[in-house]
């Protein structure tokens, strides 16, 4: 199920921008800062430095299992 996969990027504070967590449903190959962080909070010259600080992880989960466990 496409809803059961996501990419989660945790970006720490950078210059005058506070830290932020970004989630987006993308394929595993697109799980990186450039595909997930929208809108990009920094101007063009700072994008590479900002993205190098972000930690992006591809996650798969079963929403059916989560729903069943919440009922129990």
pLDDT of residue 25: 92
Domain boundaries, the chain: 5-60
56 pLDDT more than 70: yes
39: preceding bond cis by omega (within 30 degrees): yes
Cα–Cα distances in angstroms (integers) from residue 6 to residues 16, 18, 29, 35, in the given order:
28, 22, 11, 12
Give me the pLDDT at residue 4, please: 82
Question: Is residue 1's pLDDT more than 50?
Answer: no
């Amino acid at each position: 199920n496409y809803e059961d996969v996501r990419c989660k990027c945790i970006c720490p504070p950078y210059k005058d921008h506070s830290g932020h967590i970004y989630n987006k449903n993308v394929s595993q190959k697109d799980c990186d800062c450039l595909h997930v962080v929208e809108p990009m909070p920094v101007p063009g010259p700072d994008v590479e430095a900002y993205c190098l600080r972000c930690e992006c992880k591809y996650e798969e989960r079963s929403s059916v299992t989560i729903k069943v466990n919440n009922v129990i």
